[in-house]
């Protein structure tokens, strides 16, 4: 297959090197000192430990008993619907990059990114996704891929806000959840509108950069008036505008929104099916509640896999939906743990298949993602033409 990835030539592929070599010399790409990462790592560990302690401070044997008597047949349809949800998200990504990705590459690369996000901290998977897409033939520029990630996050935030709104319409409680959803939803809506305007009127974005950042902020902070910095910011903006260009089309907006709704409907359906493993009378409101709150929990610092905050969010949602009476209910905790395991199995399984299909190794992907992070953080220049 002519456009198939080759793991054997990962580190010598000129396209990815052109994307991440954004400085005058490649020697500028020095790794971030490990000491700088310790505060965030320690904070994540602390948050996870506290969350787990709050949930498991009672006798864990009751949780084990619930897991021992769970109806595990529900896991199978849950896994199937979860994979369908991943496929729907890959279609959305293709819509945002029209004509640049095949269905197979879109599905497998996206799964690799979710796999890496599940096992590594700091959302490295998004950079891995950009790196893999940049190695296709023809390549997708790194910053173009990353701009689609921004669009996806905004659309997902709107979807979560919708779930919160529907849940609040069904359930009498949950003011705090509604307030969080309202703030995030309004912010996402504003972001979507801004991106749509800039996609339709890219000259306005360039004018904003020139007058507000380079000439406005630049007068106060001379750093922004340096010629090399102006070139970098201009190149950065050009890549961003390239990534959001499809949003100038109403058809693309409608398709992206439709696939977003379908993907989140699959997530809620998978969660609803899994509820039957531990609850006799699950409700759709409970499924929507824990899917929405678990999405919020991802933003909380924690160990890789979001262990702790994820379980706490799910248990709180089940309590809000009146399936359990307290946060330490063993059945709710057992379900949260089971849900987390099923999610990890889905992401890891699909991700490993994606690595095999794309013919790359996990270590190569993560190293390239780190290089991209360092390169993007320094000095972007326009990409040279691909041979």
Burial annotation 100-110 (CB, 10 A radius, 16+ → b, else e): bbeeebbbbbb
pLDDT for the residue 56:
64
pLDDT in tens, 127-161: 899 889 988 888 888 888 888 888 888 788 888 87
Report H helices in the chain.
14-20, 34-56, 61-68, 75-96, 103-119, 124-133, 142-170, 175-200, 202-208, 218-220, 227-244, 250-275, 284-297, 309-320, 330-358, 362-376
Check pLDDT > 90 for residue 100. Answer: no
The answer to whether residues 291 and 271 touch, using CB atoms and an 8 Å cutoff, is yes
The C-alpha torsion from 331 through 336 and 342 to 344, rounded to 10°, is -150
On the question of pLDDT at 313 being above 60, the answer is yes
Q: Note the residue count of the chain.
A: 387
pLDDT score, position 382:
38
Q: What is the DSSP letter of 260?
A: H
Q: Which residues contact 331 (CB under 8 A, 6 or more apart)?
A: 66, 278, 279, 324
- What tens digit of pLDDT does each residue of 27-68 get? 333 334 444 555 555 555 565 566 566 666 667 788 889 999
Residue 26 has pLDDT above 50, yes or no: no
The residues, any chain, with a CB within 8 Å of residue 142's CB and separated by 6 or more, are 19, 20, 130, 131, 133, 134, 239, 372, 375, 376
Report the alpha-carbon angle 295-297-300, nearest 5. Answer: 135
Give the pLDDT of residue 43.
55
Q: Are 255 and 94 in contact (CB under 8 A)?
A: no
Q: 367-383: per-residue pLDDT in tens? A: 887 777 766 544 444 34
CB 22 within 8 A of CB 378: yes
Triad 309, 313, 318: Cα angle to 5°: 150
Nearest to 275 by CA among 326, 195, 191, 331: 331
Give the pLDDT of residue 91: 96
Specify the DSSP class assigned to residue 326. Answer: S
Whole-angstrom Cα distance, residue 381 to residue 9?
A: 24
Longest dimension (CA), the chain: 68
């Amino acid at each position: 297959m002519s456009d198939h990835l080759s793991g054997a030539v990962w580190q010598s592929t000129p396209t990815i090197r052109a994307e991440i070599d954004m400085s005058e010399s490649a020697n500028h790409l020095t790794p971030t000192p490990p000491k700088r990462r310790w505060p965030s790592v320690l904070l994540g560990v602390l948050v996870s430990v506290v969350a787990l302690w709050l949930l498991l401070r009672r006798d864990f044997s009751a949780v084990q008993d619930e897991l021992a008597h769970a109806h595990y047949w529900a896991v199978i349809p849950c896994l199937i619907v979860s994979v369908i949800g991943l496929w729907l998200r890959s279609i959305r990504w293709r819509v945002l990059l029209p004509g640049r990705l095949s269905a197979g590459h879109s599905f497998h690369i996206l799964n690799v990114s979710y796999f890496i996000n599940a096992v590594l901290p700091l959302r490295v998977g998004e950079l891995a996704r950009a790196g893999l897409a940049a190695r296709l033939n023809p390549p997708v520029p790194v910053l173009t891929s990353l701009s689609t990630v921004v669009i996806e996050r905004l659309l997902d935030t709107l979807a979560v806000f919708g779930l919160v709104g529907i849940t609040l319409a069904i359930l009498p409680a949950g003011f705090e959840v509604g307030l969080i959803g309202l703030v995030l939803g309004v912010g996402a809506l504003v972001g979507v509108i801004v991106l749509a305007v800039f996609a339709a009127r890219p000259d306005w974005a360039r004018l904003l950069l020139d007058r507000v950042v380079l000439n406005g902020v630049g007068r106060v902070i001379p750093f922004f008036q340096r010629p090399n910095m102006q070139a970098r910011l201009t190149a950065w903006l050009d890549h961003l505008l390239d990534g959001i260009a499809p949003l100038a089309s109403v058809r693309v907006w409608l398709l992206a929104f439709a696939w977003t709704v379908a993907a989140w409907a699959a997530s809620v359906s998978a969660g609803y099916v899994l509820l039957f493993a531990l609850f006799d009378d699950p409700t759709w409101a409970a499924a929507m509640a824990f899917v929405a709150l678990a999405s919020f929990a991802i933003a909380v610092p924690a160990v890789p896999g979001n262990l702790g905050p994820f379980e706490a969010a799910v248990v709180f949602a089940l309590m809000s939906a009146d399936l359990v009476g307290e946060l330490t209910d063993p059945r709710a905790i057992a379900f949260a743990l089971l849900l987390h395991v099923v999610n990890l199995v889905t992401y890891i399984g699909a991700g490993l298949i994606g690595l095999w299909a794309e013919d790359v190794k996990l270590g190569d992907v993560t190293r390239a993602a780190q290089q991209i992070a360092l390169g993007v953080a320094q000095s972007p220049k326009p990409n040279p033409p691909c041979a």
